[in-house]
Amino acid sequence: MSGQQRIRVKHAQADRGLDFYQTSPVAVRALLQHERLPHGLWEPHCGLGGIAEPLFDAGHAVYCTDIIDRGYPHQAATGDFLKSTGCPQGVDGIVMNPPFAWAAQHIRHALMICPYVVALLRLSFLEAGNDITEAGRARLWCLDQGHLARVFVFRNRLPLMHRDGWSGKRTTNMVPFAWYIFDADHVGATTIERISWIDSTPDSGG
């Protein structure tokens, strides 16, 4: 086959563990160009700061937590987000890249404790949902009752988010992503807008 061959690597669930894929900061900078976020934010899957650092740079106060301590210096606490009963003081919004396998459950839980939630998800999250599985029911709830206000679809693929500790071949990202904005005050149809992370890079002039 001529040209560069692209290979999609799918990790087994046992290998994926806690599903930690570091978020590229360019995705967050693009979000900041299109959405006015509250000042006080909670990043419940902070990892190594891929989301939090651009938010700090933009002047936000960010409360950072994760299910384990990964050594990020701004991580304030360790714990399972799904067991949280409310938002920390001063938090008016949640911004996250939830673990893929449990994304719908994490978003549903976030919406139960916070009126404004922003999540980086695959574009295919807009599809399906079902009444059979917990994940399917959670997705139906998020999409149909979670006040989905806006979806910012990346028109160019994000830099690939490799699984933490992955030492195999680095591949090109073939999965489309989008920012999903859930707002309890939103009434009416969901709007969809195409955005570019390239416009948000320091040398792009954007």
pLDDT tens for the 206 residues of the chain, in order: 334 333 333 444 343 344 567 899 999 999 999 999 999 999 999 999 999 999 999 999 999 999 999 999 999 999 999 999 999 999 999 999 999 889 999 999 999 999 999 999 999 999 978 999 999 999 999 999 989 999 999 999 988 654 544 344 445 568 899 999 999 999 999 999 999 999 765 554 44
Backbone angles phi, psi at 2, to 5 degrees: -80, 155
Q: What is the pTM assigned to this prediction?
A: 0.84
The answer to whether the beta carbons of residues 106 and 99 sit under 8 Å apart is yes
What's residue 199's pLDDT? 72
Question: Which pLDDT does position 19 carry in this prediction?
Answer: 54
Q: Which residues contact 43 (CB under 8 A, 6 or more apart)?
A: 51, 52, 55, 62, 63, 64, 65, 94, 95, 96
pLDDT for position 35: 98
pLDDT for the residue numbered 146: 87
**CA-CA-CA-CA dihedral for 94, 62, 175, 153, to nearest 10:** 60
79 vs 140: CA distance, rounded Å: 26
Question: What number of helices (H) and strands (E) belong to the chain?
Answer: 5, 8
Residue 51, Cβ density class (10 Å: 0-12 exposed, 13-18 middle, ≥19 buried): buried
Per-residue confidence (pLDDT) for residue 9, from 0 to 100: 36
Domains, the chain, in order of start with CATH, read 19-200 (3.40.50.150)
Q: How many CA atoms lie within 13 A of 86 on its CB side?
A: 3
